[in-house]
């Protein structure tokens, strides 16, 4: 019988998952493993500690921790205490600490956090957020030690809130999404249905470098491993970005069947992984290379297959998907065991919101058909809003009834995405609020941004295309913001030409930026509207250099916060 709550799933994994669990990979490629029984016993201790700190069932507990055993101590400990975990992202861009403090403070307040669980190192950067939010803070190590020997194991109900995750906030402020145990487990079981269909040898192994505060990393990777139960190798996101080959090497070493990533990660591997780093790697067991969380590029998929096919990567492994946090995670998958599907559509027609197949048109990637139990509504061969209905759709935004009512209408979730159905499959064309409008026609910004990725000297996945009408002008201007790793002469022209070749559009202005300048969401997506706003007021500036003085100031401000009295 399938468990109906995350706590029950953890208990079952602890008793039935012998030899399975979580592995944590470090920069030396040494893996430290914790069985599900270890995860359960440590979580029980933290649950006891949280109770002694005064946390009551139903209260929210914010968690700011890196990819580490401590994260799971805090997350599952909160669940076993009957409280609601709220994973938030750690400070990773030290040159943007002011922005981080403002957003974290807003999220702590929106989540009505009773307590913040972190560690000693991160606390030094978080004191300002805690002070502003009037939230007490505890170290996860202290909660673990303080509750050692406890047997707290609060029984939740399937429709109780299991967790709160924040939307990425590409176009608006992040929103606190309340997901019930039923929401989450329905989605995980649907994902598992696809995984088990291709896991011929029942290896039950996966690899992930995705952040644990993000739905794709936690719900899409950790929870399926918990529910099987299976094993998952975890790589810190910052380690993947520094050495992307570690991801592929871990896949080969563990013979993992499934591992998801956004489109930029596949492009990064093509550009940054050397033949020497791939020596001895076997990718033939990788059956589900899921590609989601951002627009999928057909060119990137092809380049990835061409680059790594000689190490056993199968073309049919590349699996474009679509989902969103408000639906727990997954909504559509392309068919397993078959190559990804693309179709070309007339550009002029798309600009008018119409869909017409054309041999030389814009190539779009299908994100497949709905998962079991999920319904998708979108116009047939016409661009319009994408709507979703099913048991994994969120309970609502936490304590935000009006916003919830505006987002779930007649049982349908208004996703905020645009797309269409063609031959029974979903094609997503972009966000409603991110569409580039030029002379009355709509264009997808990601098509222009992906065209720039192939230009030598730019940072992959670090471009933003926007349109706006300058004061006194009578038509829109197309502006392209591009972060350059090698700002050689003529780079602006080459970027503009790449966009023209791919889209037949003329870029009015290319703005070259220092790496790290573009504002991003907690999951790393570029906030296009915010980039334009900052540009218009003259505030689109590079992050401050992380000098010893800046670091010392941040640490001093951080220590002005307060620990819980028992911390």
pLDDT for residue 424: 93
CA 6 to chain centre: 21
Residues 6+ apart with CB under 8 A from 370: 331, 332, 376, 390, 426
User: H-type helices in 111-219, by residue range?
Assistant: 120-133, 140-146, 181-198, 215-217
Question: Is 281's pLDDT higher than 50?
Answer: yes
Predicted model pTM = 0.84
pLDDT for residue 95: 61
pLDDT for residue 488: 80
pLDDT for residue 550: 38
For domain 435-536, give its CATH number from 1.10.10.10, 3.20.20.60, 3.30.590.10, 3.30.300.30.
Answer: 3.30.300.30
> How confident is residue 501, by pLDDT bands cut at 50, 70 and 90?
confident
Cβ atoms within 10 Å of 401's Cβ, excluding its own: 9
| pLDDT over 70 percentage in the chain | 90
Q: If you average pLDDT over residues 535-550, what whole number do you get?
A: 67
Q: If you average pLDDT over residues 477-486, what whole number do you get?
A: 87
Question: Is 349's pLDDT higher than 70?
Answer: yes
| pLDDT over 90 percentage in the chain | 56
CATH of domain 189-397+412-433: 3.40.50.12780
pLDDT one-digit tens code per residue, 406-421: 999 999 999 989 999 9
| Topology match between the domains 189-397+412-433 and 435-536 | no
Q: If you average pLDDT over residues 275-304, what whole number do you get?
A: 92
Q: If you average pLDDT over residues 551-562, what whole number do you get?
A: 41
pLDDT for residue 560: 39
Question: Is 552's pLDDT higher than 60?
Answer: no
HSE on the CB side for 135, CA within 13 Å? 32
pLDDT for residue 168: 65
Contact 320, 262 (CB under 8 A): no
Q: Which of 34-43, 147-156, 315-324, 468-477 has the lowest mean pLDDT?
A: 468-477
pLDDT for residue 201: 62
> How confident is residue 93, by pLDDT bands cut at 50, 70 and 90?
low
For the chain, which residues make up each domain, given as ranges? 6-20+28-156, 189-397+412-433, 435-536
Q: If you average pLDDT over residues 272-291, what whole number do you get?
A: 95
- What does the alpha-carbon distance between residue 179 and residue 491 come to, in Å, rounded to a whole number? 46
pLDDT for residue 440: 67
Looking at per-residue pLDDT, the higher value among 202 and 5 belongs to 5
> How confident is residue 227, by pLDDT bands cut at 50, 70 and 90?
very high
Q: Which of 384-393, 426-435, 521-530 has the lowest mean pLDDT?
A: 521-530
Looking at per-residue pLDDT, the higher value among 371 and 350 belongs to 371
Question: Is 210's pLDDT higher than 90?
Answer: yes
pLDDT for residue 129: 62
Angle at 374 between CA 370 and CA 378, to 5 degrees: 65
> How confident is residue 350, by pLDDT bands cut at 50, 70 and 90?
confident
Looking at per-residue pLDDT, the higher value among 432 and 501 belongs to 501
pLDDT for residue 553: 42
pLDDT for residue 396: 95
Cβ atoms within 10 Å of 154's Cβ, excluding its own: 16
| Token duo for residue 317 | 């492994």
> How confident is residue 549, by pLDDT bands cut at 50, 70 and 90?
very low
Q: Which of 80-84, 167-171, 200-204 has the lowest mean pLDDT?
A: 167-171
Q: Which segments within 469-520 are labelled E, that is strand?
A: 477-484, 509-513
Question: Is 169's pLDDT higher than 80?
Answer: no
pLDDT for residue 386: 96
Question: Is 116's pLDDT higher than 80?
Answer: yes
Question: Is 565's pLDDT higher than 70?
Answer: no
User: H-type helices in 81-211, by residue range?
Assistant: 97-110, 120-133, 140-146, 181-198
Q: Which of 56-70, 193-207, 453-467 has the lowest mean pLDDT?
A: 193-207
Return the CATH class of domain 6-20+28-156.
Answer: alpha beta
Looking at per-residue pLDDT, the higher value among 553 and 261 belongs to 261
pLDDT for residue 172: 54
Choose among 30, 24, 20, 71: nearest CA to 209: 24
């Amino acid at each position: 019988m399938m468990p109906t709550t995350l706590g029950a799933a953890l208990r079952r994994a602890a008793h039935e998952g012998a030899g399975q669990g979580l592995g944590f990979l470090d920069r030396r490629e040494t893996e430290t493993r914790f069985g599900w029984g270890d995860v359960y016993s440590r979580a029980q201790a933290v649950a006891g500690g949280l109770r002694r700190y005064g946390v009551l069932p139903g209260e929210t507990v914010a968690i700011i921790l890196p990819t580490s055993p401590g994260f799971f101590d805090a997350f599952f400990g909160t669940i076993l205490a009957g409280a609601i975990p709220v994973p938030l992202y750690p400070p990773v861009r030290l040159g943007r600490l002011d922005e981080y403090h403002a957003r974290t403070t807003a999220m702590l307040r929106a989540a009505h956090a009773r307590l913040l669980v972190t560690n000693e190192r991160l606390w030094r950067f978080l004191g300002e957020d805690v002070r502003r939010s009037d939230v007490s803070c505890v170290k996860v190590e202290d909660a673990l030690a303080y509750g050692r020997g406890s047997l707290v194991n609060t029984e939740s109900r399937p429709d109780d809130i299991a967790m709160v995750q924040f939307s990425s906030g590409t176009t608006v402020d992040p929103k606190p999404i309340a997901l019930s145990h039923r929401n989450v487990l329905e989605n995980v079981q649907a994902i598992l249905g696809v995984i088990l269909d291709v896991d011929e040898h029942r290896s039950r192994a996966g690899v992930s470098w995705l952040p644990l505060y993000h739905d794709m990393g936690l719900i899409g990777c950790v929870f399926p491993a918990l529910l099987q139960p299976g094993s998952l190798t975890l790589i810190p996101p910052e380690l993947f970005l520094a050495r992307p080959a570690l991801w592929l090497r871990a896949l080969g070493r563990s013979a993992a069947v499934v591992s998801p990533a956004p489109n930029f990660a596949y492009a990064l591997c093509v550009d940054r992984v050397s033949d020497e780093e791939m020596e001895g790697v076997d990718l033939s067991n990788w059956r589900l290379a899921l590609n989601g969380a951002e627009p999928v590029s057909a060119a990137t998929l092809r380049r990835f297959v061409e680059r790594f096919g000689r190490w056993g990567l199968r073309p049919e492994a590349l699996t474009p998907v679509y989902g969103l946090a408000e639906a727990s995670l997954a909504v559509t998958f392309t068919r397993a065991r078959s190559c990804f599907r693309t179709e070309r559509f007339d550009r002029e027609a798309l600009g008018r919101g119409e869909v017409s197949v054309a041999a030389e048109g814009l190539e779009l990637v299908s994100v497949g058909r709905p998962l079991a139990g999920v319904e998708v509504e979108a116009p047939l061969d016409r661009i319009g809003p994408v709507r979703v209905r099913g048991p994994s759709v969120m309970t609502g935004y936490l304590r935000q009834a009006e916003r919830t009512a505006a987002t779930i209408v007649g049982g349908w979730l208004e996703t905020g995405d645009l797309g269409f159905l063609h031959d029974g499959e979903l094609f997503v064309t972009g966000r409603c609020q991110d569409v580039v409008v030029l002379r009355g026609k709509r264009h997808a910004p990601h098509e222009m941004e992906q065209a720039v990725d192939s230009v030598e000297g730019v940072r992959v996945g670090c471009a933003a295309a926007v349109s706006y009408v300058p004061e006194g002008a009578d038509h829109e201007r197309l502006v392209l913001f591009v972060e350059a790793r090698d700002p050689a002469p003529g780079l602006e022209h080459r970027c503009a030409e790449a966009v023209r070749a791919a889209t037949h559009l003329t870029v009015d202005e290319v703005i070259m930026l220092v790496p790290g300048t573009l504002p991003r969401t907690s999951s790393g997506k570029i906030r296009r509207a915010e980039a334009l706003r900052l540009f218009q007021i003259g505030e689109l500036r590079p992050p401050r250099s992380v000098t010893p003085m800046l670091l010392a100031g941040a640490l001093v401000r951080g220590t002005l916060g307060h620990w819980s009295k028992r911390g």
